[in-house]
Amino acid sequence: MTRRGMPSTHTCGARLLALALASGLAIGGLVRAPALARDAAKVTAQDVTARLVPSAERPVDLAQLHDRVVETIEKHFHDEALLKRLDWRALAAAARPQIVSAQTLADAARHINALLARLETSHTALYTPDDVEYYILLDVVGASASTELLATRFWGSGPAYAGIGAFTVQLGERHFVDAVLEGSPADRAGLEFGDEIVEVDGEPYSPIAAFRGKAGRTATLRVRHAEATMLDTIGVQVATILPKKAFADATRASARIIERGGKRIGYVHLWASVDSAPLREALGVLNPGIELEQVRRSDGRAEAVFHPAPHNRSGPARLVDGLIIDARGKVGGRAGVPTEYLEMIDPSPRRVRMTARARDGSERASQTVSFKGRSALLIDKKTRSAVEILAHAFKRDRIGPLIGTTTAGAVTAGGGFIMPGELYLYVGVTGLSFDGERLEGKGVAPDIRVERPLPYAGGADPVLEAALKQIAGD
């Protein structure tokens, strides 16, 4: 979410990760970090992410990095009282020697994140170009003073990285797929939730470095689908991924109808809530004979209404019998978007009923379509930020059951800042509450608790199965 007069802010999720960025040895408090490929003419149109390959190295002053992080937190972090209680300056001073003497930028970043973790606040972490979140946040949230960074590192494309559309989580020394974007190269190649990725092109897997500079090519993955089994070899095309577009495309591609107990149940996966258009378009996919549009009520508010599509005016189309919204996404989004979602799922009764008459005499009337009592929301610890607002309202208004596990409790508005070495500092700049309740650090609990074990799951989804049973009345 954004506020006037402030750096770009968003309620967009962020995990505190152990960050890894290959670099050289420290020399007097300086370490080497990948520099930008500054000559755009050397970048081919076929592989815009080739410019992300370091062309040289230049030193990063770790003392300066530490001091900038500390000062930015002191200036922009939303809870001044917390900084005083913790004695932020004293904490930072105690951590400084370890950060400044770090042998690599990766080590320094880990120590800085350990310091930031003392704040116990979401949307507050440091990211490097070897983290997927670095690109997601630059695209979704933006950053203060990012013009030069965007013009050099991402000239001509916007924040982008080379990848396959799968996200992973590291458990011990192993990397497991915990999300696959619908319609992505990883989805088409058959990668599933729970698969372990071991190697990419003969090298150990890493989420960014393993694919850097390979957009447009096919990467060879070595994958383990079940514990103690042989590795499978999978070829996956590497794509240039622009996060906002990829999330919107995946939401639209996720829309499908599942037949269960004689009912047609619609399913849509919300990957990000930057705007409501992807959900609106996905609902149109679920009901091909029905169009969904936004109209203005007499009080000026927007309302979602359904009407027969032009090609289907000869008769009514059948709406789906129920709706499952999968909110186990990757990021949050703008705080206002959940309200727009709710207007689509359960339109307000205070609306203008509109009938449009065309020149040929045909009429098009708005319809009231509510999924209240016929819907379910899937949640887990990746459901964060703006999407937690949706979960809160879903539960408050009893629109349908929340199924899964408790949400992340990451509901603070975040702002982005570029740090020395082109690192990205995410800062919780505004505290939020809803209906007088703070969700930060607490989250939203499910009505029906269902776990989804990750390692070697083979794509199994007991949370979705529970939702289907609930709506179908099994």
CA dist 460 and 471 (Å) reads 19
pLDDT surpasses 50 at 42: no
CA dist 266 and 260 (Å) reads 11
**Structure-block tokens of residue 289:** 């004979």
What pLDDT, on the 0 to 100 scale, is given for residue 205? 97
What pLDDT, on the 0 to 100 scale, is given for residue 306? 53
What pLDDT, on the 0 to 100 scale, is given for residue 371? 86
DSSP class of 141: T
In the chain, what are the domain boundaries? 9-153, 161-241, 244-412+435-472
Percent of the chain with pLDDT over 90: 58
Structure-model confidence comparison of residues 319 and 50, the more confident one: 319
> pLDDT tens, 329-340?
888 888 889 988
CATH dotted code for 161-241: 2.30.42.10
> pLDDT tens, 406-422?
999 999 889 999 999 89
Mean pLDDT check: name the lowest of 33-37, 308-312, 414-418.
Answer: 33-37
Long-range Cβ pairs for the range 111-116 (8 Å, 24+): 112/65, 112/66, 112/69, 113/16, 113/17, 113/18, 113/19, 115/69, 115/91, 116/16, 116/69, 116/73
pTM above 0.85, yes or no: no
What pLDDT, on the 0 to 100 scale, is given for residue 27? 34
CA dist 159 and 142 (Å) reads 9
pLDDT surpasses 90 at 181: yes
Are the beta carbons of 425 and 145 closer than 8 angstroms?
Answer: no
What pLDDT, on the 0 to 100 scale, is given for residue 474? 72
Q: Do the domains at 161-241 and 244-412+435-472 have one common CATH topology?
A: no
When the pLDDT of each residue in the chain is averaged and rounded to a whole number, the result is: 81
Which residue type sits at 439? L
pLDDT surpasses 80 at 318: no
Helix 62-76 and helix 88-100, axial crossing angle in degrees, nearest 10: 160
What pLDDT, on the 0 to 100 scale, is given for residue 79? 92
E strand map for 181-228: 196-200, 203-204, 218-224
User: Domain 244-412+435-472 falls in which CATH fold?
Assistant: 2-enoyl-CoA Hydratase; Chain A, domain 1 (3.90.226)
What residues have CB less than 8 Å from 53, skipping those under 6 apart?
37, 212, 213
CA dist 433 and 431 (Å) reads 7
**Structure-block tokens of residue 404:** 């899964």
What pLDDT, on the 0 to 100 scale, is given for residue 287? 72
> pLDDT tens, 107-132?
999 999 999 999 999 999 999 999 99
Candidates 36, 34, 38; CA nearest to 60 is 34
